[in-house]
Copies of this chain bind each other. A is one copy, B any other.
Amino acid sequence: MTAAMVAAHAETNVSSVSLVVNGKHRGRVSEQLAARIRDAVDELGYVVDHSASALARGHGDLVILLAPDLSNPFFAEVIAGVQDTLGDRYQLMLSVTERGEQPCVDSLRRFNGLRPAGVLVDAPDETFAAVPAAEHPVVLFDAPDSAADLNALNYDYAPAIRSLAALLAERGHRTVAYLDGSTRSATFALRRAMLAEAVTSHGLHLLDDDVRADVTVSGASAATRANLARWREGGATAVIAAADTLAYGVLAEAHRAGVRIPEDLAVASFDDLPSSAVTAPALTSIALPGAALGRAAAERLVAMLDERPLPTPTPLETVLVRRASL
């Protein structure tokens, strides 16, 4: 089914068909012809060929979102936020990295061949320190490393992390263990560094081992199994995890080991996933509004596509949600 067939059916030519299906026919095609064309389109079920259109125009209506693997439910939120904002002017397509990898600059180049209208990159790796020139706008998010680049949207962890450090101090903790994610993303590095600083300023200290786990419940369980005794021997009475999913593994393993939470070991983490309200015990967590992040990034991209002026991006607020685990 091609524009030529539609043209034949409507007894006209492909130029007029193209103008009408793209809504660019005002003052160029008579209302009568336009109606005839629309009828033919409906009747034949014609859909514009994206490849041909993108080739002719230079780009299509695709917005590509590069995201790390989706096992962390946090990303579902982000994606929903992006989707909501893009609406149907643009077609959102996701590309997901291999398990445990972060989007890298090379993948960006690979997608240039698709001639997207724009690209969003969630939690890019360090190769994005400088964003490569592309024919389309690129918006990064959860990309604290690329601070110099105006097209990055990030969280403002400071207030929530301060609250968490204060809460730890208030509860009498002195030594705190940290369970990091094994993906070496900038956002994880920042969480850890900021927490270490905040905790230190309250006179506590973060165990400086470098315990990491896949951001999955089972990965975190294994890491906890291997480190729990050592953490406690080192004096840790609390463990902070870089993501809720990691904290779930800590909870499971502590339970198995007969370690009571929060009495023997307090636990807190980052994300505040919906299921964190129903773990045993309910999890204290720094809420990261994923959908808001996705929306903000998508709005920024759309503004660039519309060539509207761009405000400096505002970091998104985070808050500590206190529950029973700490």
A: which residues have CB within 8 A of B?
A: 45, 47-55, 60, 64, 69-71, 73, 75-77, 79-80, 83-84, 91-96, 98-99, 109-110, 112-115, 216-218, 245, 248-249, 251-252, 255, 274-275, 277-281
Residue contact A76 to B69, C-beta cutoff 8 Å:
yes
Please name all residues of chain B whose beta carbon is closer than 8 Å to the beta carbon of A98 when the two chains form the complex.
83
* A56 → chain B closest CB, angstroms: 9
From B50, B216, B252, B281, contact of A115 by CB (8 A): B50
Residue contact A280 to B277, C-beta cutoff 8 Å:
no
Q: A79-B96, A280-B281 are in contact. Are A274 and B218 (CB under 8 A)?
A: yes
Report the copy number of this chain in the oligomer.
2
Q: A279-B278, A281-B280 are in contact. Are A109 and B248 (CB under 8 A)?
A: no
Please name all residues of chain B whose beta carbon is closer than 8 Å to the beta carbon of A113 when the two chains form the complex.
47-51, 53
- List the 6 closest A-B pairs by CB distance, nearest first: A280-B280, A50-B113, A217-B274, A94-B94, A70-B76, A252-B278
Residue contact B217 to A277, C-beta cutoff 8 Å:
yes
Please name all residues of chain B whose beta carbon is closer than 8 Å to the beta carbon of A95 when the two chains form the complex.
91-94
- Please name 30 pairs of A and B residues whose Cβ atoms are closer than 8 Å in the assembled complex, sorted by A: A47-B109, A47-B112, A48-B113, A50-B51, A50-B114, A51-B52, A51-B54, A51-B114, A52-B55, A53-B113, A55-B55, A69-B76, A69-B83, A70-B75, A71-B73, A71-B77, A73-B73, A79-B96, A83-B96, A84-B99, A91-B95, A91-B110, A92-B96, A94-B95, A217-B277, A245-B275, A248-B275, A251-B278, A275-B275, A278-B280
